[in-house]
A and B are shown apart, each in its own frame.
Chain A
Amino acid sequence: MSEVEAKPKANENPILFVARPMATAARQFARSLVRPSTIVYPFERLEDPKFRGQVAVAPGKPIGLGEVWDNYRGVHALNIETCISCNLCAFSCPDLCIDMVTVPGGDPKHPKKCPQIDYGKCSYCGFCSDACPEGCLTMTTRYELSVTKRADMVYSPQRLNEVFRTRLPMSPIRLARPANEDSILLDPPLCIGCNACSRDCPTECITMLDIPKPEAKPGEKFPKRIWKEPVINDSDCVRCGTCISVCPKECLFWGTRK
């Protein structure tokens, strides 16, 4: 086998073996003297205008300043004024991190409740903002959430509203809400006309209409009730189900209107 001579490889030349990495390091040094690739994060950030176009992130449509992706899901922004307290965000949350807490602004009998989000539990799935019928709970591109106390991870509605007021770029991504063909139907014999559904409906699409009191036959006794029945305006209804949950007689149910 000795006639087959091993071809000397370039990296076995001792001078090249030393000189080539030295040259590479020197080139790197010269390039890095101008500006190192490392970004000194808390003092500089990728969204700074001076990094625009220099950052090697995957192509995405930039929204607002810098290069944060347009489908980024960060901290929520809540517009308290347009929130209708429908509870759908808390209902849709898979992590159970949304609590509806009372905020000032409602009447005493019918307090206004807005979502409070615990970011210690939140998985940033975005279901809440998808479920929000009024578009008042959206996700922003803010990603800085470091806190020193666990309690600070809970964002009250007021804090979420402050996020909204900073006018951060909103994530425009919103899944189309699944078309809910179901409506809320009434089982008339059970209804007692108590007005709870109409009172708690966040969109005020339930009106109580008078119904005629039937003639009592001898021997027949009517239940004690108010002679009114809820009528639900399907075009205004957001299908939040609040009326079903507040109904004392369980006479409202999901169904397809004939």
Chain B
Amino acid sequence: MAPLTLYTVSNDLVSSLLTALGNAIPNPVGAWLKSPDLITGLSVLVFAAILLAASMLNTILLIWWERKLLGRFMDRRGAMHVGYAGLLQNFADGLKLFRKNTFQPREADSLGFYTGPAAYMVTSLILFGILPISSGWNSGALPLTLLLALAIFSFAPLFIFISAWSSNNKYSLMGGMRSAAQMIAYEVPILLAVVAVVIVAGSFDLTTIVYEQQNYWFWGPLVVALIVFVAGMLAEMERIPFDLPEAEAELVEGWNTEYGGMLFAFFMLADYLRALVGSILVVLLFLGGWTLPTWVPAAATSFPLAGIFWFMLKTYLVFGLFVWVRAALPRVRTDQLLRIGWNRMIPLSLLSIFLAALLVTVKCLPFLGCVPSPGS
């Protein structure tokens, strides 16, 4: 029996539905309904719809989670009136934004102004689509998932810069330029930190990387890489303390100053979607993905959807770390940001590569166990 994946589930669903419908309806419509091409096409659509719903739901829940956590950090309570403990508050906010009028400045460039947010949103959605949430989540066994994810992740400054430039607003332009400079500066340490993980795991496939962590999660031996990766992710997600591109005190709202209504909601959602993807990447690369350590009793991993449950729990806790950083640290200056990026993060990531190479050479560590040999 083939392993149960999200795609096979949706395929089974669609094929059983269409077969029942095709048997009830006489030919030739019935035969057309039962044709494998239609079933494949529709099940891909259902698969995509499930992914879209999951990503949007998680994004909005993530905003709720941040608001609640940040409230406690600031001695408040966060959203609490709409829905249980304010769970539906962000849905209400989204509906409000959906109803609002979107307008563009008179001198703005329509093409860039409207394609920027859409492309930003779409690339973020693709990111969520290719990441494995649990063993049965992602059907596409891409050998280079990690590389693809990081490549798509680095599209963002392009679209941010396009939308900022076409807004025809000096604050937007400054925010966009800062965003591009910052993202490009922090791409390098992130990629180098990922190289350390890849050296130890011996694969670019995220599923393989997760299963390579069965003896010990990578955050222990590769803690330097983890620090560099988290700091770089903070900069990539433009969160405090690296939120220079939308520094409210200097640049109104940064590169999305001129955006309102649903276009602003696109940016907001895509931002949080990228935060979600960043947290997911941290969990996948350093925290063992959907697996649990072997000393955990089997009952904890045997209930249905256990993988997704543990994965999302880890993801939300990692995002809680980002919120903690946001609550504690002040925003850095541009020169400090770039100095941290080029002078501190890159040497640290090179050090982490060295440590990873050492780990692969030594193979076994006391208290931690052995690295599985690559390719086995």
Interface residues in chain A, defined as those with a beta carbon under 8 Å from any beta carbon in chain B: 14, 18, 21-22, 24-26, 28-29, 31-33, 36-38, 40
Contact = CB atoms under 8 A, between A and B. Distances in A.
B77 interface: yes
A29 B72 contact: yes
B76 interface: yes
A4 to B, nearest CB: 25
A25 B73 contact: yes
Given A22-B324, A25-B324, A37 B329 contact: no
Contacts of A40: 77, 80
Contacts of B330: 21
A25 B328 contact: yes
Interface string B66-77: 000101111111
Interface in B61-99: 69, 71-77, 80
B152 interface: no
Specify which of A26, A29, A31 lies most central, judged by the most chain B CB atoms within 10 Å of its CB.
A29
B265 to A, nearest CB: 28
Contacts of B350: none
B328 A32 contact: no
B271 to A, nearest CB: 22
B72 A18 contact: no
Interchain residue pairs A-B with the least CB separation, the first 10: A25-B328, A21-B328, A32-B72, A22-B328, A25-B327, A37-B75, A38-B76, A32-B75, A36-B75, A29-B73
A223 B330 CA distance: 92
Given A22-B325, A22-B328, A22-B329, A28 B80 contact: no
Given A29-B327, A36-B72, 8 more contacts: A14-B344, A21-B330, A25-B327, A25-B328, A28-B74, A29-B324, A32-B73, A38-B76
A36 B77 contact: yes
Nearest to B321: A22
B347 to A, nearest CB: 13
Contact of A28 (B73, B77, B325, B329): B73
B75 A38 contact: yes
Contacts of A37: 75
Contacts of A25: 73, 324, 327-328
8 contacts: A18-B329, A28-B73, A29-B324, A29-B327, A31-B75, A32-B75, A36-B72, A38-B77
Contacts of B329: 18, 21-22
The main secondary structure of chain B at its interface with chain A is: helix
A234 B329 CA distance: 74
Contact of A24 (B72, B75, B80, B328): B328
Nearest to A14: B344
A31 B74 CA distance: 11
Contacts of A38: 75-77
Contacts of B344: 14
A227 B353 CA distance: 119
Given A21-B328, A22-B325, A22-B328, A33 B76 contact: no
Nearest to B325: A22
B328 to A, nearest CB: 4
Contacts of B324: 22, 25-26, 29
A32 B72 CA distance: 5
A44 B324 CA distance: 28
A139 B24 CA distance: 81
A32 B329 CA distance: 18
A76 B297 CA distance: 68
A52 B245 CA distance: 46
A31 B80 CA distance: 19
Specify which of B69, B71, B327 lies most central, judged by the most chain A CB atoms within 10 Å of its CB.
B327
A24 B330 CA distance: 13
B156 to A, nearest CB: 25
Contacts of B325: 22
Specify which of B72, B324, B344 lies most central, judged by the most chain A CB atoms within 10 Å of its CB.
B72
Nearest to A31: B75
Contacts of B71: 36
B348 to A, nearest CB: 11
Contacts of B74: 28
A33 B320 CA distance: 14
A38 B324 CA distance: 20
Nearest to A20: B328
A37 B72 CA distance: 10
Contacts of B80: 40
A42 to B, nearest CB: 10
B72 A33 contact: yes
Interface string B294-332: 000000000000000000000000000000110111100
A36 B330 CA distance: 22
A28 B70 CA distance: 11
